[in-house]
Amino acid sequence: MIDRFSMVGHWGIDNLRCFGKAGILFYRVLFYAPNFRKGFPLVAQQVYSEGVLSLLIIIVSSLFIGMVLALQGYHTLAKFGASQELGPLVALSVVRELGPVVAAILFAGRAGSAVTAEIGLMKATEQISSMEMMAVDPLHRVISPRFWGGFISMPLLTIIFNATAIYGAYLVGVKWLGVDAGIFWSNMQSSVEFHADVVNGILKSIVFGIAVTWIAVFQGYFAVPTSAGIASATTRCVVYASLAVLGLDFVLTAMMIGEW
């Protein structure tokens, strides 16, 4: 019995320690920013490898999501004679929910896992230690640029996701199923509010960007420096980041709708 209590205690302490380490890492990344001259090229490089290189998966997925949404939505709306509402249906679901959430989950799978694996491997191959011994802080040189790169990329990817998904819905709804283009766009314009829908969606993506990149850099930096350790850190990054995105989405939606 005592053993079980002590196991629960150990588990609790380990988890708290983990949260503590993650908190300290986050604090140091936020408040010990590297100087602009050295930091900017590194961040730009990360925006390229985390953001630009994620474009393909974001564009292809969002195009298909928009197309499927239009196809499904059209047939359901048509039953009620409301197929002219296809534009608002697609735009609201994408801009408010699907865009930020799916883009963040794809980002966690594409860029988050790459960041974790890269940092973990740098640790396993003593690159992080050698950097420390050369009096270069790996938090400034490695962790911080990756965090800020993800922070900048995530909202931009979400905007691209939203636009492509709506374009996909336009292709299916207007070009294929014959919804009138004027009605499609004008209903969308009159139903979607810039602040309540578009801005709130982007705010969500900023929060998701912070959560995903924070989890990715933490898992990489504290990975056990072995092949098994890096493999499990990469898996944990994707699982935790996806769960965090879904959980945060509920909290943020509740806050934005005004229930909290």
- Applying CB under 8 A, which of residues 133, 194, 228, 258 lies at the interface with other proteins? 133
For position 135 contacting other proteins by CB under 8 A, the verdict is yes
Least distance (Å) between residue 130 CB and other proteins: 3
Please state the separation of Cα 256 from the chain's center in Å.
19
137 binds other proteins (CB under 8 A): yes
Name the residue nearer to other proteins (CB basis): 17 or 75.
Answer: 17
For residue 12, the minimal CB distance to other proteins (Å) is 17
CB atoms within 10 A of CB 242: 19
Binding segment toward other proteins, per CB under 8 A, in 75-83, 96-104, 128-136, 225-233? 128-136
> Nearest Cα to 188, choosing from 204, 202, 169, 172?
169
Task: Give the shortest CB-10-to-other proteins separation in angstroms.
Answer: 12
Greatest pairwise CA separation for the chain in angstroms:
71
Which DSSP string do the residues of 49-104 spell out, in sequence order? Answer: IIIGGGHHHHHHHHHHHHHHHHHHHHHHHHHTT-GGGHHHHHHHIIIIIIHHHHHH
Query: 3-class DSSP state for residue 219?
Result: helix
* Stretch of residues binding other proteins (CB under 8 A), selected from 127-135, 214-222, 236-244, 252-260: 127-135
Per rule CB under 8 A, is residue 136 in the interface with other proteins? Answer: yes
Contact 202, 155 (CB under 8 A): yes
Residues 17-76 that bind other proteins (CB under 8 A): 38
Give the nearer residue to other proteins in terms of CB position, either 132 or 197.
132
132 touches other proteins (CB under 8 A): yes
**Can residue 134 be called a binding residue for other proteins (CB under 8 A)?**
yes
As a whole number of angstroms, the distance between CA 245 and CA 81 comes to 36
Q: How many residues does the chain have?
A: 260
Choices 69-77, 124-132, 185-193, 230-238 (CB under 8 A): range interacting with other proteins: 124-132
Q: Which amino acid is at 66?
A: G
Phi, psi for 136 (deg, rounded to 5)? -115, 125
The verdict on 126 binding other proteins (CB under 8 A) reads yes
Nearer to other proteins, 2 or 133 (CB): 133
Q: Read off the amino acid at residue 235.
A: T
In this chain, which of 6, 76, 125, 227 binds other proteins, going by CB under 8 A? 125
Block residue for tokens 């709804």? 173
Q: Which positions touch other proteins (CB under 8 A)?
A: 38, 125-127, 129-130, 132-137, 141
